[in-house]
């Protein structure tokens, strides 16, 4: 296997129709993952690619897939699995753009929430490339409407995310049903033990291609965090937008409900913002993205799962309204800005109970995130005044019809107002700055005395906090879930030695700190398994499957522990929903 990398797409020896499409799409030279990945995949070997969203990995596997399609056959020749419907649609659209000048290539995205009858009709007509989510692919396999007899290539896109969402058994079933002589390509942001297990079982002597971590944490990105009281986060966010004159911004939060709340608050304050999350229909999502890319909307608020399919460039900044549950998500988020050699800003709003997560992120990325000072109300007024004066000055210099408006000042003078009053009122109206309940308040939470480091100020003017803090880092030897339960963390309690039966009595052990126990009305008699519960909750509530705690399945009901901050979101998302086609009632356990 050659280790040569290429500086241009022409050097890769690609189909001229693909080169034409790349030129139209504005691709000038391959990204690192493309320069290494495309030749490896074209040579026919199995490939493992470690890369995050935004590195160009779709083209890294999509171009070789298109190169190998035989349009004389109507059979499915390539299957691409994605964790979410949003990413499946994004990948299929990207392949559509890459194949724009190739005749006869048919691509179909299949995912839950879309009409399965329409998908069946499309598959019967003949499709060369299927891009789908594991659940819907399994549905078609069971209906025998999707056949893999002539599949030559199998791609697992964002494999770590699919495993987090509980799709491991589905993925293994799909891989087991594939022709043995197929080529398998796996892309993942992390190389966890479950990922390595799949690669050992299903990939044959794979070539590893890796974008190293110092490429993932872009040096062009200014990373700063602010200690903020939870109720003041929107106020602080708008101050940062004004202070740094951010015109194109992506805001990340952890729940769909929070997306809607932030968008409403921003719109009430006059900021052009839209939200995007898993509850939006595809047409709504497309409308939101069109407005954002056109600059009609300047602020896009999104959950991590919904943002997986977002392809935007040239962002001025990213704001972490909520600190992500997973360190890798932080890398994905900030990678949206500071691309193509441009500078970017990544601001994180840290509530007191999120402090420990920030420390984990610093440890993971090996990057010191600087501590910033929240701009004051007077700072923002000063900034807006300066911009007001600049705009008025430019307007005077560029205007050639000022005589039409010269009498306005005289009219206002006749009404009894002084020039100072008139200019002040105009400035206030145009600048849009008004005092509110936060104007004279300290918006940062106070550090406890035990958390303060004696002396020591950073470049933002505040003393740093002690590394340990009240929350500290994860316990040594413990798992990422706060304890090492041993064995299968999702095993039903009856299989872990507790013979509490199905009498409905409370379990002896309380939920771990920071977790809430939920009651589900389904149990063993409904033939549900832990992976079904994890997949349903993670997929519907847009939370990482790895954050879900213990699951205890009894005959007629189930207990599941979820993070306290996500409990309400889970209840809303699962209300009236189903697991394995069975209606489920869910509530906080009594």
User: Between these two residues, 341 and 161, which has the higher pLDDT value?
Assistant: 161
DSSP 261-280: HHHHHHHHTT--EEEE-TTS
Among 361, 324, 359, 319, smallest CA distance to 336 is for 319
The superfamily in CATH containing domain 10-211 is P-loop containing nucleotide triphosphate hydrolases (3.40.50.300)
211 contacts 332 by C-beta, under 8 angstroms: no
Statement: residue 122 has pLDDT above 80: yes
Among 335, 295, 293, 282, smallest CA distance to 90 is for 282
- CATH (one of 3.40.50.300, 1.10.630.10, 3.40.30.10, 3.40.50.10860) for 218-374: 3.40.50.300
Task: Choose from 185-189, 312-316, 452-456 the range with maximum mean pLDDT.
Answer: 185-189
Q: Give the pLDDT of residue 507.
A: 42
Is the CATH number 3.50.50.60 carried by domain 493-588? no
Name the β-bridge partners of 583.
578
pLDDT band of residue 82 (cuts 50, 70, 90) is very high
pLDDT band of residue 340 (cuts 50, 70, 90) is low
Both tokens of 102, joined, read 């190739």
Give the start-end residues of each E strand in 143-288: 153-156, 183-188, 207-210, 221-227, 249-252, 273-276
Statement: residue 83 has pLDDT above 60: yes
Among 423, 447, 532, smallest CA distance to 227 is for 447
Lowest-confidence pick of 214-228, 289-303, 400-414, 452-466: 452-466
Q: Give the pLDDT of residue 223.
A: 92
What mean pLDDT, rounded, does the chain reach?
79
pLDDT band of residue 46 (cuts 50, 70, 90) is very high
Statement: residue 548 has pLDDT above 70: yes
Angle subtended at Cα 234 by Cα 228 and Cα 237, rounded to the nearest 5 degrees: 75
Dist. CA 192–CA 215, nearest whole Å = 19
Dist. CA 143–CA 150, nearest whole Å = 18
In this predicted model, what pLDDT tens digit does every residue of 342-392 receive, in sequence order? Answer: 678 999 999 888 888 888 888 888 888 999 999 888 888 888 778 777 777
């Amino acid at each position: 296997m050659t280790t040569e990398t290429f500086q241009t797409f022409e050097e890769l020896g690609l189909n001229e129709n693909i080169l034409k499409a790349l030129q139209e799409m504005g691709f000038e030279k391959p990204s690192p993952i493309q320069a290494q990945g495309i030749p490896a995949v074209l040579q026919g070997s199995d490939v493992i690619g470690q890369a995050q969203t935004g590195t160009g990995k779709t083209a890294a596997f999509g171009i070789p897939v298109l190169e190998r399609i035989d349009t004389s056959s109507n059979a499915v020749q390539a299957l691409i699995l994605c964790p979410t419907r949003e990413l499946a649609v994004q990948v299929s659209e990207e392949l559509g753009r890459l194949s724009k000048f190739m005749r006869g290539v048919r691509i179909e995205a299949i995912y839950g929430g879309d009409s399965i009858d329409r998908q069946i009709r499309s598959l019967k007509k003949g499709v060369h490339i299927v891009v789908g989510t594991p659940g819907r692919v399994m549905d078609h396999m069971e209906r025998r409407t999707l056949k893999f007899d002539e599949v030559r290539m199998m791609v697992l896109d964002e494999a770590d995310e699919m495993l987090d969402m509980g799709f491991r058994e589905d993925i293994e079933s799909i891989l087991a049903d594939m022709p043995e002589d197929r080529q398998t390509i796996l892309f993942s942001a992390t190389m966890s033990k479950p990922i390595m297990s799949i690669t050992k079982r299903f990939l044959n002597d794979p070539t590893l291609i890796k974008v190293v971590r110092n490429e993932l944490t872009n040096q062009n990105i200014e990373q700063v965090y602010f200690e903020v009281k939870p109720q003041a986060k929107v106020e602080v966010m708008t101050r940062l937008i004004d202070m740094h004159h951010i015109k194109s911004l992506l805001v990340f939060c952890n729940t769909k409900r929070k997306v809607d709340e932030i968008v409403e608050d921003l719109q009430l304050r006059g900021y052009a913002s839209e939200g995007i999350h898993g509850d939006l229909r595809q047409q709504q999502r497309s409308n939101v993205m069109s407005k954002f890319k056109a600059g009609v909307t300047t602020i896009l608020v999104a959950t991590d799962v919904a943002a997986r399919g977002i392809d935007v460039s040239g962002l001025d900044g990213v704001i972490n309204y909520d600190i992500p549950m997973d360190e890798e998500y932080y890398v994905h988020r900030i990678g949206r800005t500071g691309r193509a050699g441009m500078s970017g800003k990544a601001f994180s709003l840290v509530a007191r109970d999120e402090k420990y997560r920030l420390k984990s992120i610093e440890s993971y990325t090996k990057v010191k995130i600087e501590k910033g000072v929240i701009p004051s109300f007077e700072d923002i007024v000063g900034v807006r005044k300066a911009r007001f004066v600049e705009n008025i000055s430019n307007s005077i210099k560029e205007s050639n019809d000022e005589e039409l408006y010269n009498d306005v000042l005289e009219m206002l003078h006749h009404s009894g107002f002084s020039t100072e009053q008139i200019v002040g009122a105009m400035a206030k109206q145009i600048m849009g700055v008004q005092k509110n309940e936060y104007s004279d308040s300290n918006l940062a939470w106070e550090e406890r005395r035990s958390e303060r480091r004696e002396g020591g100020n950073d470049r933002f003017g505040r003393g740093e906090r002690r590394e340990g803090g009240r929350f500290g880092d994860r316990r040594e030897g413990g798992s990422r879930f706060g304890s090492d339960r041993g064995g299968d963390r999702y095993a039903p309690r009856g299989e872990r030695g507790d013979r509490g039966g199905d009498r409905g009595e409370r379990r002896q052990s309380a939920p771990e700190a920071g977790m809430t126990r939920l009651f589900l009305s389904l149990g063993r008699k409904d033939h549900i398994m832990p992976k079904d519960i994890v997949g349903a909750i993670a997929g519907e509530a847009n939370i990482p499957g790895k954050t879900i705690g213990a699951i205890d399945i009894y005959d007629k009901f189930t207990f599941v522990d979820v993070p306290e901050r996500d409990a309400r979101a889970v209840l809303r998302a699962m209300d009236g929903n189903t697991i394995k086609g069975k209606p489920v009632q869910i509530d906080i356990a009594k």
